Structure 1
């Protein structure tokens, strides 16, 4: 890895039920890079993300995050990323604020900074008055906001986001887009998938296009425009 790289996948292969899903995956993401992982349904995007997070076991290859090998020190590796899934992942027995506390404590966010971040995000995502509510009492959009805030609080080097704008109102989607750009400028690396390609093209730096579990194309986001124009003509 070079001094500016944060995430590296080296010859990664993954099988599920004896079927090869990911083939010889190699790429590097640099610090502060926003990368869109694109491809049709079944291309391997979700499996790739799960493999990076250590949820899906790989057959072979190496994954490094902040110079930490996933196979040698998984607990330390895991502390380097946070993940916002498409479907909210909340605990029914915890209130909104208790979810924030859980993430803040788990990632060692200092109390003063934790309170500042909670106040900031709760206000921007318009969740005021909902801190004592349980997930079952919230709409899907509100649950997604709780999920997003919980992970933004952590301020990890790598932020993985699956379909970030699904279920959000326009104001919240605009705020999240700006927050992603801000975190990038602060050095956070962001890997995201989205079907809202027109939106992510506006702020991503690069893309990786998967097809049948392999990298079909990759490069700067402007290159994705060129590919789409060639396909449409």
Structure 2
């Protein structure tokens, strides 16, 4: 049975410094789908993600997420996604636990569920004993784990992930991989980009390949093998 469309991108165009970065992009993402956005450096992957989040201004096109339009109802739209960036983005004045509280309250996670999730993810990503630390006290890998937990504790329908495995050790990478699979099984849609092709082929359902801001190929993830050398 076909699942519901969660994210829809129609005729998306983005220009930066009078240069077209995204050119007439069209795609849909179903509920529970894990889609890999692939392509060479500069293909437009990160710009596409930032435009979906409203960080990058688009020149034209329509973006809807869970029936909310980015242009007409951004307040509700932005509550429909969470984001794991490539580089950790943390507040220097907040402790690790205060970051988790910020996300829990922002996404209205019930207190009992919040506590269970924090305990589970902290244990799984081996951040025990770090809850009262500030970002300056943490390694880059640990800061990345904090960002990951912040996004995982939410119930946002869409999870956007940019190069999730950079800076993580193998145990943390495997844990994250399993959590993404579990999230998708429970209906969360995941749009991610990664250069670790062999890893994402193990758990993604589909892929979209970009080149110069355009889709040059898309399909089921098991078809990525034949075009891997073109990335």
**Same fold, TM-score > 0.5, yes or no:** yes
Quote the Cα distance in structure 2 between the aligned partners of 1:102 and 1:128: 19
Quote the Cα distance in structure 2 between the aligned partners of 1:74 and 1:82: 14
Quote the Cα distance in structure 1 between the aligned partners of 2:155 and 2:125: 17
Task: Tell me whether 1:8 sits opposite 2:14 in the alignment.
Answer: no
Quote the Cα distance in structure 2 between the aligned partners of 1:124 and 1:33: 24
Aligned partner of residue 172 in structure 1, secondary structure = helix
Pairing 1:60-79 to 2, within 5 Å after superposition: 60-79=60-79
Quote the Cα distance in structure 2 between the aligned partners of 1:176 and 1:221: 19
Task: Name 2:135's counterpart in structure 1.
Answer: 135
Deviation >3 Å, runs of 4+: none
Aligned partner of residue 26 in structure 2, secondary structure = strand
Quote the Cα distance in structure 2 between the aligned partners of 1:58 and 1:42: 17
TM-score (normalised: structure 2):
0.97
| Cα drift, residue 91 of structure 1 | 0.5
Task: Name 1:223's counterpart in structure 2.
Answer: 223
Deviations 1:149-182 (A, max 9, x none): 0110112100000001011111110000000001
Quote the Cα distance in structure 2 between the aligned partners of 1:122 and 1:164: 17
State whether residues 3 and 31 of structure 2, in contact with CA within 8 Å, keep that contact through their aligned partners in structure 1.
no
**Cα RMSD over matched residues?**
1.3
Task: Name 2:48's counterpart in structure 1.
Answer: 48
Shift in CA distance, 174/36, structure 1 to aligned 2, threshold 3 Å? same
Task: Name 1:119's counterpart in structure 2.
Answer: 119
Quote the Cα distance in structure 2 between the aligned partners of 1:106 and 1:183: 19
Unpaired runs of 5+ residues, structure 2, are none
Unpaired runs of 5+ residues, structure 1, are none
Alignment coverage as a number of residue pairs: 230
Task: Name 1:156's counterpart in structure 2.
Answer: 156
